[in-house]
Amino acid sequence: MTPLPKIGTARLAYETGHGSGTEADRGLARANSLTIRDCCKTYGAVTAVRDMSIDVAPGEFLTLLGPSGSGKTTLLMMIAGFVEPTAGDIFVNSRRITLLPPEKRNFGMVFQGYALFPHMTVAQNIAYPLKIRGTPKAEIAHKVNEALDLVRLRGMADRLPRQLSGGQQQRVAIARALVFSPDILLFDEPLGALDRKLRGEVQLELKRLHAELGATFIYVTHDQDEAMTMSDRVAIIDGGRLVQIGAPSELYERPNSRFAAAFLGRSAFIDGRLVARHGEEAEIAVGEARVRHRGPVPPLADGAVTLSLRPEKVRIGTEPPERGLNRARGTIESVAYLGATMEIAVATAEFGLLLVTAFSAQLGTEPATGTPVWLSWAPEATVCLPGETAA
Ligand SMILES: Nc1ncnc2c1ncn2[C@@H]1O[C@H](COP(=O)(O)OP(=O)(O)OP(=O)(O)O)[C@@H](O)[C@H]1O
Ligand SMILES: [Mg+2]
């Protein structure tokens, strides 16, 4: 395995006293790879996870993102060892762990509502996993302090959980999950109960912790902003299947399906038919209208395509747009004022409802509904997806 660069490992290093030489200079966590190979989980007639294969690199921050019921927790529970796969295998650093019990996996876990022990102080809560592992007392004290520093709670060691805010409690849970040098850290919606602002703060803390530890993080959320903010890569999951995996920008710029485009960010969809190709450019017929698309066109069974058009790539104006751009006339149907930006829905005759995101400062006044406008977008603005025939 290739160790990733770690920040501040010198400060984190400790002597285990009884470990091997390499063990001794390890920090609070290590970078391990995880391989999920053809994993399935069925519950009677319900298939919670199907044919799941994912390779997680050592030190990677991977997020499993999907709607409720898509199988995220089931997959995480299989990784943790609480749920046995119906089929498939799981490996850590190419060691098969599929049937290894959870307590032998040495994974750190933080779950939503995975409560702290209410009668124990912060320090006692964090010390707990070390205690049950029989770690010597002096070493426990040392490691607890290290973990407290890492989550920036040094001054709160003697408080009880109820004397802490929600965000601080979650940081204690995080400290408890990493204090015993876990091989991999697993998180299942750990910030779900926090308010928006606090969530943002703890997200940044987690990201910093990840960089500082250099450990492998697997994080479950159904919040796309959270996934985009924190992850090296995101795995989009739907109906127990892996839809697409990639860096946030890759998923946003090059979604492979309508589901991925709609789940990560907003998009309008234009259904049409491929009628001609000229080099890099494709001509798409949408009723009587023609749209120019520049970029890849996936293999098509029958010429049916769906173009995904992100709202920030559409220009809006009252004057006809310059030649060379795709254009449409329409009327403003609704305007959502979001502060820095406005989201404008425009009804067009040819393409149905199109969405536009515009900077408020550039628009000046808020446009009125019913206003006739021109929309335009460059041929390279669209992503061409295989057309989905109505099932
Ligand atoms: N023990 C179980 N017995 C039967 N069905 C189950 C069991 N656990 C999960 N399921 C089903 O498997 C599917 C996936 O559930 P899972 O909890 O993994 O989804 P999730 O993506 O974590 O959803 P959420 O975002 O709501 O937490 C769901 O249809 C669920 O009802
Ligand atoms: Mg879940």
Any long-range contacts for 165-173 (C-beta under 8 Å, 24+ apart)?
165/198, 166/193, 166/194, 166/195, 166/198, 167/194, 167/198, 167/201, 167/202, 169/116, 170/110, 170/194, 170/202, 171/202, 171/205, 172/116, 172/122, 172/125, 172/126, 173/110, 173/114, 173/116
- Alpha-helical regions (H) of the chain: 9-12, 21-24, 72-80, 122-132, 137-150, 166-178, 196-213, 224-230, 248-253, 258-263, 360-363
CB 381 within 8 A of CB 284: no
CA–CA dist 354, 345 (Å, integer): 6
One digit per residue, the tens of pLDDT, for the chain of length 391 reads 444 443 333 333 332 323 333 443 456 667 999 999 999 999 999 999 999 999 999 999 999 999 999 999 999 999 999 999 999 999 999 899 999 999 899 999 998 766 799 999 999 999 999 999 999 999 999 999 999 988 889 899 999 999 998 889 989 999 999 999 899 999 999 988 788 888 888 899 899 989 988 999 999 999 999 999 999 999 999 999 999 999 999 999 999 999 999 999 999 999 999 999 998 999 999 999 999 999 999 988 889 999 999 999 999 999 999 888 999 999 999 999 999 999 999 999 999 999 999 998 888 788 899 999 999 999 999 999 998 764 4
Tell me whether residue 314 is exposed, middle or buried, using C-beta atoms within 10 angstroms of its C-beta: 0 to 12, 13 to 18, 19 or more: buried
Which residue CA neighbors atom 4 of ligand 1 most closely? 43
What confidence score (pLDDT) does residue 389 get?
61
- The sheet carrying 382-386 orders its strands as 289-294, 281-286, 268-278, 304-309, 382-386
From the CA of 28, how far away is ligand 2's center (Å)?
27
Which residue CA neighbors atom 25 of ligand 1 most closely? 68
From the CA of 237, how far away is ligand 2's center (Å)?
12
What confidence score (pLDDT) does residue 301 get?
83
Which residue CA neighbors atom 18 of ligand 1 most closely? 71
pTM of the model: 0.87
Query: Domains in the chain, start-ordered, CATH in brackets?
Result: 9-253 (3.40.50.300), 266-386 (2.40.50.100)
Question: Does residue 337's CB lie within 6 angstroms of at least one atom of ligand 1?
Answer: no
Question: Does residue 214's CB lie within 6 angstroms of at least one atom of ligand 1?
Answer: no
How far is C-alpha 290 from the chain's CA centre? Answer: 36
